[in-house]
Structure 1
Amino acid sequence: MTRTETIPAGRRSWSVNWPEYAPTDITPPELRPSALAHHVPDWAEAAPTPADVQDWPQRQAAALVAFQLDARGWPLHPQGRTGRTGRNLGKWGENAAADPIVVAGTGRGRRVLLITRDDIAVEAIPGGMVDPGETAPITLVRELREETHVDLSDHRPVILGRDVVDDWRASDCAWVASTSALYLLPVPVAAIAGDDAADANWWPFGSLNKLDAAITAAGRTLYAAHRPLLQRALDHLDQG
């Protein structure tokens, strides 16, 4: 289920008054305050609530997608209510990610490189979270290398956009925003599944429908949150 299916369209906006709104807390046990008091996972910040975050002005200034704080000083999802609260991501507010869309070939031979995510077993772009101190270009190269063993450090990609991603872990006060970039290769190169990937394959990329059909025929599913990013890549290629 995507975020937009959980909330009536007329009530998504934070400007709409909804006193009865009761989002579900999706915080996993390891990120609850009682657990964080004893151990903080290496992928997460220690703040048990947004009130414990001290640098909201800096986070807002650096955000890929602008967001506001509510009367309590808590971050608000840029696209409105999600039906979920709490945190199932590393940080409160925006969690920056980078998604390298690698395309090889032209015409009927055009292919896109996807991984099978080992957490939710769907076909997805081989991207991931921006580490502290990293820039998006560094993350694009690192994630691609870690998840597929494809090294494109000597390639300059086309930045397609910076967008909020409809990630399954998102909530009203923690979400993912990604820099998506297009890498173009003359032919497919060898790809081997690595970190966070159960498999890595090249798929037909003539259109989103053809990609869907090929993935479905293989008994697999395309990650819904990445469909808009892949469509943007196709639009860019078709305009070229």
Structure 2
Amino acid sequence: MSEYTPVDITPPELHPSALARHVPAWAEAAATPADVHDWDRRQAAALVPFQLDHRGWPMNPRGRTGRIGRNLGKWGENQAADPIVVAGTGDQRRLLLITRDDIHQEAIPGGMVDPGEKAPAALVRELREETGIDLAGHRPVILGTDLVDDWRNSDNAWVCSTSALYMLPVTVTAIAADDALDATWWPFGSLDELDAAITAAGRTLYTAHRPLLHRALAHLADAEGHGGSR
């Protein structure tokens, strides 16, 4: 059996020496999972159940990632909210995506749930902050909670998301802001159609969001089928 040699992905600002001087607003002060003292509460509140290893450190529910350290706000589960906004139906259906400023890829306009915040509020806040669209008066369809294959995931820190589907009759004006470089409505009859449109524009779809978009399409196909539009 080959030796496991994961790569430490901790950025400089989260190294113990840096945290001793200054804790970024988006991160907890714990230099290692051993410095966290509320694992019982975190496990009870987790979107996806996880266990602790023999040291009392959290273990990624999907197993080894090849990465250790922390490039996220918290050790263990980091909860996110992903609002999937679509407009129109059938061949005229469009999907709203942003261009993320960290990886420069097309993604759902979501983000991390703030301390003390619930997922429904985070869905509305993130969408408003990144696109200028306020859907506070809309009730979305909660599609599920998933461990997302985020590029920052490690063996001991990872992202789990609540994804929700917002259905609008027509597109509305979206203006990129906050963590978004651009906000665009894309054809969304299928993932193949979406891929083709994004590729033709010289852009790339964020792979981690593909399962969430696939689930949204399945729900839309079922809803339109029952509505007699298929």
TM-score of the pair, normalised by structure 2: 0.96
AA in 1 matched with 2:154 = S
Q: Is 1:35–2:18 an aligned residue pair?
A: yes
Distance 1:208 1:94 in 2: 28
| Map 1:43-58 → 2, pairs under 5 A | 43-58=26-41
Q: What is aligned with 1:67? A: 50
1:107 shift after superposition: 1.2
Give the secondary structure class of the aligned counterpart of 1:37.
Answer: helix
Q: Is 1:227–2:210 an aligned residue pair?
A: yes
Q: What is aligned with 1:89? A: 72
Distance 1:40 1:133 in 2: 19
Q: Deviations over 1:75-112 (max 9, x none)?
A: 00001100000000000000000000000001111000
Give the secondary structure class of the aligned counterpart of 1:236.
Answer: helix
Name segments (4+ residues, structure 1) moved above 6 Å. none
TM-score of the pair, normalised by structure 1: 0.92
Number of residue pairs matched by the alignment: 223
Q: Is 1:131–2:114 an aligned residue pair?
A: yes
Uncovered stretches (5+) of structure 1, i.e. residues with no partner? 1-17
Provide the aligned C-alpha RMSD in A: 0.8
Percentage of pairs with the same residue = 78
AA in 2 matched with 1:41 = P
Distance 2:210 2:64 in 1: 21
Q: What is aligned with 2:172? A: 189
Q: Deviations over 1:31-57 (max 9, x none)?
A: 000110101000000000000000000
Distance 1:207 1:170 in 2: 28
Distance 1:131 1:89 in 2: 13
Q: Deviations over 1:151-200 (max 9, x none)?
A: 00000000001000000000000000000000000000000001100000
1:22 shift after superposition: 1.7
Distance 1:195 1:153 in 2: 18
Q: Is 1:236–2:219 an aligned residue pair?
A: yes
Give the secondary structure class of the aligned counterpart of 1:143.
Answer: helix
Q: Deviations over 1:12-67 (max 9, x none)?
A: xxxxxx68212111000000001101010000000000000000000000000000
Question: Which residue of 132, 140, 148 maps to 1:157?
Answer: 140
